[in-house]
Structure 1
Amino acid sequence: MRWHWTLGLLCTGCAALSRGLDGDPVDAEPTPTVEKILRVPLDEALFVTRRLLEEQRLDVFEHNDTKELFSQSWEIGVNVRGNRTFERYMVRGEEVGPRQSVIRIFRLQYREAEAAVEQQMPEPGSEKTNDHRYLHERDPFARETFENVPSLEGFKLRRGIRDLPQERKLLARLEMVPSLELVGGKASIPVRDVKVPAWGPESADAPPRCGEAVQGVEPLLVAGQTVLVADPLGTRELPDAAARMLCDATARKLPVALALSVPSVDQAALDEYLASAGSGPDLERLLVLSDFFRRVDQDGRSSAGVIHLIEAARRLRTQGHAISLVAFDSNGASGNAREEEMAKNLIAFRQANPDAWLLVLAGDVHVRTVGVDWDSKFEPMGARLTKALPSSPVKALEVGFTRGIHYACRFNVWQQVDCDVHGINPTAEVRQEPDTPRKVLLFAGPGQTGFHGRLYLGQLSASLPVLQRAARAPEAPAVMHGAVTAPGTTAAKPSPW
């Protein structure tokens, strides 16, 4: 059954939102210094651009021979005949790769010029001298730049500029969208066919590679604390930061638990791997026992980054630390039923382990500690935890980052589920300055969306599903976590933990 037909199995907006639900971040973004490559096919990018202009009540037509769109023209102000100015949009698309494109939106300006005025030369020192030089001597664009641009009878093209506000609106449409979490589904690879290469050259008792410090996390490392983190899904950076937080918590001799958005039916498989030597056969057995990592269509919750995080927890346990894994997600529920089941599983763990430091990774909407403004009846998992555990402190962190890519599932312009590497762009509120370290910033109090602070991750890079179908191959393996290989699948080279 096709995913986009099985609406009951989809949870729209459950994953981390990179665009806020209250406010337009478009004009707050700094002026770009390089072209932004969109992680969508060119035809989809042009389709969304056309829709964007048509929503502004502009008729749009396409050049027959080029990947260009032109809008109808409109007059700037109200002027007498012979002194009128009109503008129109021109859109140029460029295909960079199979799923990569660049869209440039220009605002073209046409100026009405009667023949007698064009031929008149202003006197030296005249106030019209500068205008004359601009119109007659300065060539603002090379001819090839605006070749074959439609003309307006009686008007001449005066200038053209990149319309950055429109391009930012387009970017918001394409990259500031919620991801989908695909609940349920069948395993894609028969159990007998799973083949996993060696997990790594290190010994079974090798210590975890904790990575760079997460600044400002110390106030959260308290016994009995529950920390909810909004996972953007399918990135390297969030699992890496989570591994470091596990290292810091165990260094303080705290009993630690890592809760993952994995169906609770896979709890036994996680426990078995946690107690294993972490070898290739052990990892193979985990993937054999868990259908979650072998689904036909996988979202970012089953990425190689998550497997690396599970391995980090195993290595910490091997070093003698008290650490456990919690699978708390539902295997088929959606909406409030799913939130209730997730909260129930975490509450049960907390009641049995009141002193454990609990790190929970889930989508943005799930971890909010208050309700949502678009559905008064929807109660997120985080809100349920806060209500049910008044004596156990619960802190929720949203994520801040700079523009990058992640592996996620979204609806494309044809309303089909598209699971692939996508661009992800932050809102102005959570945008992180380039070349700044990852850190935790705690607020004075919870915000309107129920977050108590923000975890800054830096530039995001994609982590592919741990198992992939042969139909797709990674486009940029240098910036993605490695994936293990099964017969008939393709995978990037595993990166060392």
Structure 2
Amino acid sequence: MRLHWLLGLSLCVGGCASLTKDLHDTTPEDEEVPTEETVYLVPLDEALFTMRRVFEEQRYDVFERADHHELYTSAHEPGMNLPGNRTYERYFVKGASLGPRQSVIRVFRLSYREQDTNIEVKPKWLNERIQDEEKYLSRKTFERFTFDGVPDMEGFKMVRGTRDLPLERKLLARLEMVPSLELVGGRTNAPVRAVQVEGWDDDTAQPPPVKCGEPLQGVEPLLTAGHTVLVGDPLGTRELPEIATRMLCDAVEKKLSVALALSMPSEDQGALDEYLASAGHGPDLERLLVVSSFWRRVYQDGRSSGALLRLIEQARRLRAQGNAVTVLAFDSNSASGNAREAEMAKNLIAYRQANPDTWLLALAGDVHVRTKPVSWNKDFEPLGWRLTKALPASPVKALEVGFTRGSQFSCRFNVWEQVDCNVFALSPTAELRQEPGTPRKVALFDRPSDTGFHGRLWVGALNASPPVIQRTPPPVAQQQQDGGTKPAEAEH
């Protein structure tokens, strides 16, 4: 009986899964191994289809195991091996559905060796070495997994399945690090009937109090008369409007005149002014939603969330207490690209020139608020860059948002290239990742970044805030049959 003495062999009997570092992994050494599975807020078939695309872009053939929510790829030979001692690898994907829009995707790299390289009799010292390694791997494994039913390769035996975290990070980026769509224009047919907004106070006995929220560290240097503060994504969450409310409270406490600029069509300014002057009761709210078609669009993005409406209400309450507070609608209702940036800038510049001492807080998308040109389009001039050039005597500061993974209501293109407006998970890039449990705060930079930001606003874990008025969309299959209904303009 032959013995094959293989020094440093790492053998996993029975096909169990472990976590090891891929030779091609570019992940920083200090990045922690996950301790729990990532649950994607998309249907399982969409998550699997996205994973298939990742493989196909790397020129793998992808096969599906019917009725098992499993994918496996064609095999490849890493490096060059001598005949009789060859190793092949392929990828295996196991999907699991936890709900209609909740899915888990596990990606494994399977290693196969030629049959005659298997150890038939292992010496005692090698047995001990394998046992020690298995104990080590068990400490790093957050999901033990057996590969029953995985297709074999003729003449080869599978010796290990390695959880491939780099590929799972690519999937995470495809599903959760994508820009939101801002849907400009489009039809409005959602009816308004007896609107009820979560957390809304309709007490006619006495004026309701302002809910300023928890303190925001580091905001003091930004609270100066005549300054403009631009805050980028993510809209469609509770956290950004809550922090904006806190900033408004801090500003009026310093006796500043305050303007809150929102990415709403400028033609809705009259409806906003009417609501700000009202008592904020149910009929006042209903009239705002009826007069302004912005809240009743067929496709609604994060700009018309319930949290944004509550922010407007908090501004109304501050104003009702005698503070100099106004809300400004500065967006376009139909323009796109540079024309939209120009129209937004025109509206804010006109307001600033008429109110040079007002402290102005504007909420808009990440790309809009940048105070430098973007690198990917030399002709595109963001709103923030236009303001900086047009208002040299009025300081303009832009903040990018750092956060902990959470959820957001937004509109995106799904894998079938249809607009899908729903609650999605949102993950930050490594640079914008906030440690769980750390406080909300503003951290200013020593100098503006290359992308035109002057600091970072840390907001914590995100929670989605859906639109005030929602319609039930048709199933995706029906959208495909109908060819899909697209909004007038979709911008990132």
Q: Distance in 2 between matches of 1:131 and 1:110?
A: 21
Paired residues of 2:201 and 2:208 also in contact (CA < 8 A): no
Tell me whether 81-90 or 103-112 shows the greater mean CA deviation. 81-90
Paired residues of 2:54 and 2:171 also in contact (CA < 8 A): yes
* AA aligned opposite 2:326: S
Give, in angstroms, the shift of residue 133 of structure 1. Answer: 6.4
1:244-259 to structure 2, matched below 5 A, reads 244-259=246-261
Q: Distance in 2 between matches of 1:470 and 1:61?
A: 35
The equivalent residue for 1:164 is 165
Q: Distance in 2 between matches of 1:439 and 1:135?
A: 44
Give, in angstroms, the shift of residue 144 of structure 1. Answer: 7.4
The equivalent residue for 1:267 is 269
Distance of aligned partners of 1:119 and 1:196 in 2 relative to their CA distance in 1, 3 Å threshold:
closer
1:464-483 to structure 2, matched below 5 A, reads 464-471=466-473
Paired residues of 2:115 and 2:155 also in contact (CA < 8 A): yes
Paired residues of 1:27 and 1:168 also in contact (CA < 8 A): no
Q: TM-score, normalised by structure 2?
A: 0.85
Equivalent residue in structure 1 for 2:38, among 36, 39, 62:
36
Paired residues of 2:210 and 2:317 also in contact (CA < 8 A): yes
Distance of aligned partners of 1:285 and 1:472 in 2 relative to their CA distance in 1, 3 Å threshold:
farther
Equivalent residue in structure 2 for 1:399, among 394, 401, 410:
401
The alignment partner of 1:364 has SS state of: coil
* AA aligned opposite 2:330: F
Give, in angstroms, the shift of residue 81 of structure 1. Answer: 2.4
Paired residues of 1:26 and 1:168 also in contact (CA < 8 A): no
* AA aligned opposite 2:378: S
Paired residues of 1:26 and 1:172 also in contact (CA < 8 A): no
The equivalent residue for 2:187 is 186
Q: Distance in 1 between matches of 2:144 and 2:469?
A: 50
The equivalent residue for 1:100 is 102
- String of CA shifts for 1:358-412, please: whole Å, max 9, x gaps: 0000001110011111110010111110000000000000000011110000111
1:189-338 to structure 2, matched below 5 A, reads 189-190=190-191, 194-197=193-196, 199-203=200-204, 205-338=207-340
Q: Distance in 1 between matches of 2:250 and 2:137?
A: 61
Distance of aligned partners of 1:186 and 1:132 in 2 relative to their CA distance in 1, 3 Å threshold:
closer
Q: Distance in 1 between matches of 2:290 and 2:436?
A: 41
Give, in angstroms, the shift of residue 201 of structure 1. Answer: 4.4
CA RMSD of aligned residues (A): 2.5
Equivalent residue in structure 2 for 1:78, among 77, 80, 86:
80
The alignment partner of 1:75 has SS state of: coil
Give, in angstroms, the shift of residue 131 of structure 1. Answer: 6.4
Distance of aligned partners of 1:47 and 1:76 in 2 relative to their CA distance in 1, 3 Å threshold:
same
The equivalent residue for 1:27 is 27
* Unpaired segments ≥5 residues, structure 2: 1-24, 476-492
Give, in angstroms, the shift of residue 318 of structure 1. Answer: 1.0
The equivalent residue for 1:177 is 178
The equivalent residue for 1:388 is 390
Q: Distance in 2 between matches of 1:344 and 1:136?
A: 65
Give, in angstroms, the shift of residue 151 of structure 1. Answer: 1.0
- String of CA shifts for 1:76-128, please: whole Å, max 9, x gaps: 3323223222211100111111111110001111122328x643443x45xx4
Q: Distance in 2 between matches of 1:236 and 1:159?
A: 44
The alignment partner of 1:365 has SS state of: coil
The alignment partner of 2:330 has SS state of: strand
Q: Distance in 2 between matches of 1:239 and 1:26?
A: 36
1:148 corresponds to 2:188: no
* AA aligned opposite 2:390: A
1:42-61 to structure 2, matched below 5 A, reads 42-61=44-63
Paired residues of 1:111 and 1:157 also in contact (CA < 8 A): yes
Distance of aligned partners of 1:351 and 1:457 in 2 relative to their CA distance in 1, 3 Å threshold:
same
Paired residues of 2:403 and 2:428 also in contact (CA < 8 A): yes
Paired residues of 2:202 and 2:281 also in contact (CA < 8 A): no
Q: Distance in 1 between matches of 2:134 and 2:382?
A: 63
The alignment partner of 1:170 has SS state of: helix
Give, in angstroms, the shift of residue 135 of structure 1. Answer: 11
Paired residues of 1:186 and 1:291 also in contact (CA < 8 A): no
The equivalent residue for 2:13 is none
Paired residues of 1:228 and 1:360 also in contact (CA < 8 A): yes
Distance of aligned partners of 1:83 and 1:206 in 2 relative to their CA distance in 1, 3 Å threshold:
same
Q: Distance in 1 between matches of 2:423 and 2:149?
A: 35
* AA aligned opposite 1:181: E
Q: Distance in 1 between matches of 2:453 and 2:44?
A: 37
1:379 corresponds to 2:378: no
Give, in angstroms, the shift of residue 194 of structure 1. Answer: 3.1
* Unpaired segments ≥5 residues, structure 1: 1-24, 474-497
Q: TM-score, normalised by structure 1?
A: 0.85
Q: Distance in 2 between matches of 1:51 and 1:95?
A: 19
Q: Distance in 1 between matches of 2:286 and 2:435?
A: 40
Distance of aligned partners of 1:152 and 1:360 in 2 relative to their CA distance in 1, 3 Å threshold:
same
The alignment partner of 1:74 has SS state of: coil
Give, in angstroms, the shift of residue 158 of structure 1. Answer: 1.0
Q: Distance in 1 between matches of 2:104 and 2:410?
A: 21
The alignment partner of 2:179 has SS state of: coil
Distance of aligned partners of 1:444 and 1:472 in 2 relative to their CA distance in 1, 3 Å threshold:
farther
Give, in angstroms, the shift of residue 134 of structure 1. Answer: 8.7
Give, in angstroms, the shift of residue 129 of structure 1. Answer: 4.4
The alignment partner of 1:27 has SS state of: coil
The alignment partner of 2:367 has SS state of: helix
Paired residues of 2:229 and 2:399 also in contact (CA < 8 A): yes
Distance of aligned partners of 1:311 and 1:90 in 2 relative to their CA distance in 1, 3 Å threshold:
same
Q: Distance in 2 between matches of 1:136 and 1:104?
A: 21
Q: Distance in 2 between matches of 1:201 and 1:73?
A: 64
The alignment partner of 1:343 has SS state of: helix
